[in-house]
Amino acid sequence: MLKNITKFILALLLTFASVASQANEAGYETLTPPQPTENPDKIEIIEFFWYGCPHCYAFEPLLEQWVKTLPKNVEFIRQPAVFSEAWGKHAKAYYTAEALGIVDKVHNDFFDAIQNKKEPLDTEASLAKFFADHGVKEADFHDAYNNFGVDAKLRQAPIMASKYGITGVPAIIINGKYKTNGTVAGSHEKMIEVMNKLIKEESTKK
């Protein structure tokens, strides 16, 4: 009996190893079940990130250049991941910038402030100053920061990560069907290759 159980466990482990090997070779994992996208007419790419993540910071220049080359049938969405209170504070800063319509203006500078200047930017007062330095009136910042819509997105963020099985960042979801990250793909450059490959495949299905 014990011998049979041992054989079963070994077979199970070999199966898992085989699946993992195939996933790493492909550079992505298939989501089961696939998740609906916001716009079925577009190929949706979602990036899960955190401003405090050095890997996200290292990936950002590659991603930024890649986004500039996207065809019109692809929609790119940034999604802050929230796995703790600290992550939530940075996510709220992103959603505030989104509400003010200045994400492109502050996104890289926010990364720089966190990663290089070691500014925590984790209080409303410190964020008010950061946004003021980028031309946002203090009253406008506070209105956006305390906006119901911003809080609603913040509450939704952990649910989004859970829905896609996100456990670390940066992570990319391709059209609600596939997931890749540095570990699965092998590198940030490989992530870009995987995204391009899957976008091409998904485009033929539209």
For 184-195, write each residue's pLDDT tens digit.
999 999 999 999
Q: Respond yes or no on whether the N-terminal peptide bond of residue 170 is cis (omega within 30° of 0).
A: yes
User: How many of the other CB atoms lie within 10 Å of CB of 93?
Assistant: 24
- pLDDT bin (cut points 50, 70, 90) of residue 205 is confident
This prediction's pTM = 0.87
Helix (H, G, I), strand (E, B) or coil at 153: helix
User: How many of the other CB atoms lie within 10 Å of CB of 26?
Assistant: 16
Sorted by where each starts, the structural domains of the chain and their CATH numbers stand as 29-203 (3.40.30.10)
pLDDT for position 173? 98
- What percentage of the chain reaches a pLDDT higher than 90? 86
- Order across the sheet with 178-181: list the strands: 29-30, 178-181, 171-174, 43-49, 74-80
* Model confidence at 2: pLDDT above 70: no
pLDDT for position 146? 98
Tokens matching residue 140: 């406008």
Note whether 188 and 62 are within 8 A (CB): yes
* Model confidence at 206: pLDDT above 70: no
How many angstroms separate the most distant Cα atoms in the chain? 73
> Chain-wide mean pLDDT for the chain?
90
pLDDT (average), residues 1-24 = 43
* Model confidence at 39: pLDDT above 70: yes
| Tens digits of residue pLDDT in 122-175 | 999 999 999 999 999 999 999 999 999 999 999 999 999 999 999 999 999 999
Q: Give buried/exposed letters for 32-53 (b at 16+ CB in 10 A, else e).
A: eeeeebeeeebbbbbbbbbbbb
